[in-house]
Amino acid sequence: MKTFSDRLKHARLLRGHTQKALARLVRISQSAIGSYESGLRHSSRSARKLAQVLKIEVEWLETGKGPMELPLEAYDLSNTLPVSGVSDAAPRPGGRPRPQAPWPYPNISPSQFESLTADERAMLEALTQTFIETTLLRRGVKPRGRKIG
State which fold the 4-72 domain adopts: 434 Repressor (Amino-terminal Domain) (1.10.260)
Write down the pTM of the prediction. Answer: 0.52
Contact (Cβ atoms closer than 8 angstroms) between residue 75 and residue 69: no
Q: Pick out the chain residues at pLDDT < 50.
A: 81-89, 147-149
Tens of pLDDT, residue by residue over 67-105, are: 888 776 666 555 554 443 334 445 555 666 665 667 777
Instruction: List the domain boundaries for the chain.
Output: 4-72, 103-143
Cα–Cα distance, 24 to 22 (Å, whole number)? 5
Cα–Cα distance, 68 to 80 (Å, whole number)? 22
pLDDT at residue 94, rounded to an integer:
61
Number of residues that this document lists for the chain: 149
Burial zone of 26 (CB within 10 Å; 0-12 exposed, 13-18 middle, 19+ buried): buried
**Helix (H/G/I), strand (E/B), else coil: 56:** strand
pLDDT at residue 75, rounded to an integer:
61
